Amino acid sequence: HIAVDGSGGNETDRAAWAFNVVAEFVDGTQSCLGFAAGVLDAAHASGFDVGHDANTVGAAELAAQLWGCLWAIQFLGKRSHVQVVFRYDSMYAASMAQSLARPSVHRRLVSILAGVIHALRQLACVTFHHVKSHDGHPRNELADVAALAASKGVFDWPRSLVYLVRP
């Protein structure tokens, strides 16, 4: 399960993204594999530019899904029977990621994300599950707190990436 969230993008906080990964095994046990968080690049000058038009919370939500997908592709490496479940609270970002709506902004980012999701679907069964924001869902709350911390400068991508490991 990959929980994704975005935060900030206002006068006081930078737009930031986060995702966390919890593996669920056949016997029902779970293991937290870690999380990653970072800010959107304001100048579009770094190697971590994700193709967004502006530093908004919507772009941050999309970026969280993109980085989560890229992590899953790297983690899986080859076709498997693993089910990858994205847990999200942004209906906007999920609609864009699943190509259920057409973007009016962040077209490049949405195009990149759609391609990456297509690639991930070649390796695993990918589903999306909506969770209500700020409703006590532990995975969503962790992603929310990590994105908020990144927006305030606590995390500095990529140097403070919490290492995600294989179970």
Distance of CA 163 to the CA centre of its chain: 15
N- to C-terminal Cα distance for the chain? 13
Residue range 71-102, pLDDT digits in tens? 999 889 899 888 999 999 999 988 988 888 88
What φ, ψ does residue 139 adopt, rounded to 5°? -70, -40
Which residues does 105 contact at the CB level (< 8 Å), separation at least 6? 53, 54, 56, 58, 59
Find the mean pLDDT for residues 60-80.
Answer: 92
What φ, ψ does residue 107 adopt, rounded to 5°? -60, -40
Q: CA-CA distance, 95 to 128, in Å (whole number)?
A: 10
Residue 31 has pLDDT above 60, yes or no: yes
pLDDT score for 11: 66
DSSP state letter for 164: P
Residue range 102-153, pLDDT digits in tens? 888 899 999 999 999 999 999 999 999 999 887 888 899 999 999 998 888 8
